[in-house]
Amino acid sequence: MTIESASRKLVKEFRSRRTLRTGSLITTVFGDSIAARGGTVWLGSLINLMSDFGIGERLVRTSVFRLVQDGWLQSSQIGRRSYYSLTDEGCERIAHATSKIYAEPTSDWDERWCLVLLAGLDASQKELVRKELGWLGFAALSSNMLAHPTPDEAALDAALRRLGSDELIIISGKTVRNALAMRNLAQDSWNLAEIDAAYAGFIKRFSPLITAYGKDANVLPKSAFMVRTLLIQEYRKVLLRDPLLPSELLPESWSGSAAYRLCRNLYRAVHAPADAYLSDILETVDGPLPPVSGEFMQRFGCLD
Give contact residues for a second copy (rule: CB under 8 A).
Answer: 112-115, 117-120, 141-145, 160, 166-178, 180-182, 184-185
- Using the minimum distance from each CB to a second copy, give the nearer residue, 12 or 174: 174
Distance separating alpha carbons of residues 300 and 211, to the nearest angstrom: 20
- What's the sign of the alpha-carbon dihedral 66, 279, 32, 11? positive
Across the beta sheet with 73-78, the strand order is 40-42, 81-86, 73-78
Residue with smaller CB distance to a second copy, 119 or 297: 119
CB of 167 vs a second copy, minimal distance in Å: 5
Question: How near is the Cβ of 157 to a second copy at its closest, in Å?
Answer: 9
Task: Choose between 47 and 185: whose C-beta lies nearer to a second copy.
Answer: 185
- Give me the least distance between CB of 247 and a second copy, in Å please: 21
The 3-state DSSP class for residue 54 equals coil
Residue 176 C-beta: closest distance to a second copy, Å? 5
Pairwise CA distance, residues 65 & 63, whole Å: 5
Report, in Å, the least distance between residue 160 CB and a second copy.
7
**Shortest distance (Å) from residue 116 CB to a second copy:** 10
Closest CA to 229 of 174, 281, 169: 281
Closer residue to a second copy in complex, CB, 68/160? 160
Q: How far is the CB of 115 from a second copy (least distance, A)?
A: 7
Burial per residue of 133-147, b for 16 or more beta-carbon CB atoms within 10 angstroms, e otherwise: beebbbbbbeeebbb
- Nearest to a second copy of 51, 172 (CB atom): 172
Nearer to a second copy, 18 or 177 (CB): 177
**What is the Cα–Cα distance from 227 to 271, expressed in whole angstroms?**
9
Nearer to a second copy, 128 or 141 (CB): 141
- Which CB sits closer to a second copy, 151 or 273? 151
Query: Shortest distance, CB of residue 140 to a second copy, whole angstroms?
Result: 9
Give the dihedral of Cα atoms 248, 254, 259, 261; nearest 10 deg. Answer: 50
Distance, in Å, from the CA atom of 213 to the CA atom of 219, rounded to the nearest integer, reads: 8
The number of CA neighbours under 13 Å toward the Cβ of 238 is 24
* Residues contacting residue 195 through CB under 8 Å, at least 6 positions apart: 238, 241, 242, 243, 256
Closest approach, Cβ 159 to a second copy, in A, equals 12
Name the residue nearer to a second copy (CB basis): 168 or 259: 168
Helix axes 43-51, 57-69, angle to 10 degrees: 120
- Which among 184, 135, 190 has a CA at the least distance from the CA of 158? 135
Q: Cβ(147)–Cβ(244) under 8 Å?
A: no
